[in-house]
Structure 1
Amino acid sequence: MNTRIKGTGCYIPSHVETNEEFGEHEFLNSDGSVFNHSNEVIIKKFSSITGIGERRYVTPEYKTSDIAYFAAERAIDNARIDKETLDYIIVAHNFGDVQHGSTQGDTLPSLAARVKNKLEIKNPKCVAYDLIFGCPGWLEGLIQAHAFIKAGLAKRCLVIGAETLSRVVDKHDRDSMIYSDGAGATVVEASNESNGILAHETASFTQEEAFFLFFGKSYKKDAADTRYIKMHGRKIYEFAITQVPKAMKACFDKTGRDIKDLKKIFIHQANEKMDEAIVDRFFRLYNTETPEKIMPMNIATLGNSSVATIPTLFDMVTRGELIGHEIKKGDCIMFASVGAGMNINAMIYEV
């Protein structure tokens, strides 16, 4: 028994926030001091490192569970299944439902329960739960769904990654320009075919690395005592380019396939230069050059939406919406992610 992807869907918010719109922000250092450079210089350097030119934010009336539901509906429609046949709904997120104008997350009831309610699924044996695993959450949800299916505990699961990071960022922190909102969903089911999930790998590094991403105060010293998403960017970069390629290789080696068989790598859209460095180092472990067009990217226009980046990217490529990239039946592809925890995971999948 194996697990294959039956359907995909995503929700991309309608509001576009360009880099230029950060021009009037008061960016500060972590100690509250003013930068020596102008915002124009800060934004230009940011764009050259991250590759982000714009990002998407949800409109005020929507929360994370709303956009998770939108993506779920599209994945279910794409899979052409009866939603009552779902055994599990797994929603990966990190901050719950955050109302517009607030930074407090709401996870009671769970977002998965809210999505199931919005889908109007009546079957009580469809179990709904949340997964908090940093940016690799959607992929870890996929790994868990695969485990349920392999164990005979499920035949069909819905895995969603959704986040509204725009509501938990400090506007005085230049890192706030990285984050965005979005949702991606995937229906997976049991299959007797040889294709599907071939291998996976997960690791958690929780010594010093545990606090590379954290909740902290605003850089504006007289701001309200509110916590926002914060990160040690340089430490994350060094950790990621060292540890993620190793996990990717450990995962791929489990398949026993030749590295030339790998057609695409769907990596978490965290930072363009970091992602490129990770993939280059991965291929270097096989003493080979990085193939052209191996890594689809949509970070330039969508930013970093955490758990939503990979399922959104995969859905776009599957639907032929990313110019220059396509996947065909029989292609061997990889999913890989890194994020808060610090957590790492990877998966090899045959289309």
Structure 2
Amino acid sequence: MTPRYSRIVGTGSFLPARRVSNDDLVAQLAAQGVETSDEWIVERTGIRARHFADKDVTASDLALEASRQALAAAGCEAADIDLIIVATSTPDMVFPSTACILQHKLGVAGCPAFDVQAVCSGFVYALTVADAMIRAGTARRALVVGSEVFSRILNFQDRTTCVLFGDGAGAVVLEVSDEPGILASDLHADGSHVGILCVPGNVYGGEILGSPLLTMDGQAVFKLAVGVLEKAARATLDKAGMQESDIDWLIPHQANIRIMQSTARKLRLPMDKVVVTVDQHGNTSAASIPLALDHAVRAGQVQAGQTVMLEGVGGGFTWGAVLLKM
């Protein structure tokens, strides 16, 4: 029996129109009695701007625009898709899934559609699941999306977290192929670290119990992230029988430039092989990797035939990596 593989054949992304520079955010926070500065934000994170969605814009709205771009790039229609997976931590509703809502907005019905919730590792998880389903023969063409409206869950009284995140969406079309595209992946989680990055609130009887806003122990996250990202990347390379030198591009979750620099250094990769969008997009959680991938493809950086390492780490605590050939 001929082996089945999957390959990315189209990418897309979308950012809300409202761009919020550090200076814009500093002014907003100052009006609320919270002090910070552009210099403080850039030095600690590398972030200079982010995009925030308007109040009536949902994760599925952003996902729809990114999906349309990815479908156009792949040269196919929504009706050609037989699997939809959306990675998000900020869904439109408690249920149904954002993927089902996206399916309806795309004007199609019938194919399986579901969400993956692994926070900032969500797109890596979703891509791995889609690849497995295509290899198993249960799908031929998948739409895999990361979409977030993190501005909804930020505490604008906490300058250590509210300056980090932004909204956006990225998407890929993953198609069955005779040639390997997704070469290997490596996924992990450790629930003992739930408390260092979470939104601890929940809904009960129409009321919110606990806090509905993001809370994070930044130092603990940083310490864990730099270690597990290197291990996941090396494990993925081992599974593919490849070396660090085989990587043409590293596209990490765009959380913090210092984490990205540390990971690149550990993998002995120069920063000119790392796709960086955190400076203009902030941390868009599950959207950050597909956003950065699409940005790099459309800028002519990532090209057909090149080997790309994707990796992410997020609340849960979750982490993982995917090695692919474009």
Percent identity between matched residues is: 29
What is residue 5 of structure 2 aligned with on the other side?
Answer: 2
Question: 2:98 maps to what in 1?
Answer: 111
The residue type equivalent to 1:251 in the other structure is T
Cα displacement string for residues 98-137 of structure 1 (whole angstroms, at most 9, x for unaligned residues): xxxxxxxx23221111100000013x1x111111111111
Supply the distance in 2 between the matched residues of 1:271 and 1:149 (Cα, whole angstroms): 33
For the aligned residue pairs, the C-alpha RMSD in angstroms reads 2.0
Distance 1:225 1:93 in 2: 21
Q: Give SS of 1:228's match.
A: coil
- Matched residue, 2:23: 20
Q: CA deviation at 1:46?
A: 2.2
Match of 1:46, as an amino acid? I
Shift in Å, 1:296:
1.0
State TM-score, norm by structure 2. Answer: 0.91
Q: What's the secondary structure of 1:313's corresponding residue?
A: helix
Equivalent residue, structure 2, for 1:72? 67
CA distance in 2 between counterparts of 1:241 and 1:27 reads 35
Shift of 1:292: 4.4
C-alpha distance in structure 1 between counterparts of 2:309 and 2:191, whole Å: 25
> How far apart are the structure 1 equivalents of 2:11 and 2:80?
16
Q: Which deviations, in whole Å up to 9, do the C-alpha atoms of 1:127-170 show, x marking residues without a partner?
A: 11111111111111110000001111111110110000111101
Is the aligned partner of 1:296 residue 2:271? no
1:305 aligned onto 2:277: no
What secondary structure, in the 3-state scheme, does the structure 2 residue paired with 1:187 have?
strand
Out of 19-28 and 81-90, give the one that drifted further.
19-28
| Contact 1:266-1:296 at 8 Å conserved across structures | yes
2:304 is equivalent to residue 329 of structure 1: yes
Who is 2:36 aligned against? 39
The Cα of 1:26 is off from its aligned counterpart by 5.5
What amino acid is aligned across from residue 240 of structure 1 in structure 2? Answer: A
| Residue 347 (structure 1) aligned with residue 326 (structure 2) | no
Distance 2:224 2:56 in 1: 37
Q: Which runs of 4+ in 1 moved over 6 A?
A: none
CA–CA separation in structure 2 for the residues paired with 1:111 and 1:328: 31
Asked if 1:258 corresponds to 2:255, the answer is no
Question: Superposed, which structure 2 residues align to 1:58-69 within 5 Å?
Answer: 58-69=53-64
Counterpart residue type for residue 197 of structure 2: L
1:6 Cα deviation (Å)? 1.2
8 Å CA contact 1:336, 1:347 repeated in 2: yes
Amino acid at match of 2:301: E
Contact 1:26 1:172 in 2 (8 A): no
Alpha-carbon distance in 2 for matches of 1:333, 1:5:
11
**What amino acid is aligned across from residue 12 of structure 1 in structure 2?**
L
Q: Which runs of 5+ in 2 are unaligned?
A: 202-208
**Residues in 2 aligned to 1:17 and 1:161: alpha-carbon distance in whole angstroms:** 21
Report the Cα distance in structure 1 between the residues aligned to 2:210 and 2:257, rounded to whole angstroms: 33
Structure 1 stretches of 5 or more lacking a match?
A: 29-33, 98-105, 218-223, 284-289
Matched, 1:121 2:101: no
Q: Could you say which residue in structure 2 is the equivalent of 1:176?
A: 162
1:198-242 per-position Cα deviation (integer Å, ceiling 9, x unaligned): 1100010122x122111258xxxxxx9752011110000000111
**Aligned with residue 247 of structure 1, among 221, 232, 257:** 232
Deviations 1:239-274 (A, max 9, x none): 011111011101111121232221100100000111
CA contact (8 A) 1:212 1:235 kept: yes
Counterpart Cα distance in 1 of 2:311 and 2:36: 33
Measured in 2, the distance between the counterparts of 1:225 and 1:342 equals: 20
**TM-score normalised according to structure 1 size:** 0.85
Aligned residue identity for 1:213: L
1:150 to 112, 135, 138: 135
Q: Secondary structure at the match of 1:109?
A: coil
1:319 to 273, 294, 298: 298
Q: Say whether the 8 Å CA contact 1:27–1:39 is kept in structure 2.
A: no
2:194 to 187, 210, 218: 210
Which protein has the larger Cα radius of gyration, Structure 1 or Structure 2? 1
**Residue of structure 1 equivalent to 2:205:** none
The one-letter code sitting in structure 2 at the alignment partner of 1:238 is K
Q: Deviations over 1:6-62 (max 9, x none)?
A: 11111111101111123342699xxxxx98xx533xx42221110001111112331
**1:87, 1:156 within 8 Å by CA — same for their partners in 2?**
yes
- The separation in 2 between residues aligned to 1:150 and 1:274, in whole angstroms, is 33
Q: Which amino acid aligns with 2:72?
A: D
Which letter maps to 1:335?
A: L
